[in-house]
Structure 1
């Protein structure tokens, strides 16, 4: 893995939520995972068994990751092995997202969200 010095003058972050990462510098592996059920109702009715991820297929289906079929050749040359950033300003990160200044050979991110709206009959 390439190792470089990461230099950031300033970082301004407003919010980081739900398995998100801010990484300054190199890392060997990052795995972010988040799942959520967002239920919106007009009437304030609550049931005991709500929030079971097993009842929704979206949380158990395998995610298709297409294979990389191209030949990739990398010949790195670092005259100055420093990553220099002035100001990094982030409004918000949520649901398994990442902001990184540095290098990581293995990153896997997954976010699964089920949005449900239950409206009153008209």
Structure 2
């Protein structure tokens, strides 16, 4: 892996959460993984068994990774071994997001979110 120095003059990240990564400099492997149940209810009711990811196939289904079949030709010319960034300003990062200044060999990021709405039924709907 090519090694360079990473220089950032100013960086402001207000919020980074849920498996987000801030990486300055080179890295060999970056893995980010986040899963969430987002339940929206009309009333604050808790049944005691919320949050079991195994109840939802979404969280266990394999993600198909298609092979790259195109022929790639890359020519790189780096006269100076330095990455310079003046200013980075980020309001929010979430759910396996990445801010990376530098080189990386392998990057794998995954975020799975199940949104559930539990609304009251009116008598007309039943």
Shorter-chain TM-score range:
over 0.9
Shift of 1:91: 0.9
Q: Using structure 2 for the length normalisation, give the TM-score.
A: 0.93
Task: Please give the alpha-carbon distance, in whole angstroms, between the structure 2 residues aligned to 1:88 and 1:48.
Answer: 42
Q: Which runs of 5+ in 1 are unaligned?
A: none
Shift of 1:43: 1.5
Residue 78 in structure 1 maps to residue 88 in structure 2: no
Structure 2: segments with no counterpart, 5+ residues: none
Partner residue in 1 for 2:112? 112
The DSSP-based 3-state class of the residue aligned with 2:15 is coil
How many residues end up aligned between the 2 structures? Answer: 122
SS in 1 for 2:46: coil
Q: 2:110 aligns to what SS in structure 1?
A: strand
| Distance in 2 between residues matched to 1:35 and 1:96, nearest whole Å | 9
| Greater C-alpha Rg | 2
Which stretches of structure 1, 4 residues or more, deviate above 4 A after TM superposition?
none
What's the C-alpha RMSD, in Å, of the aligned pairs? Answer: 0.9
Using structure 1 for the length normalisation, give the TM-score.
0.96
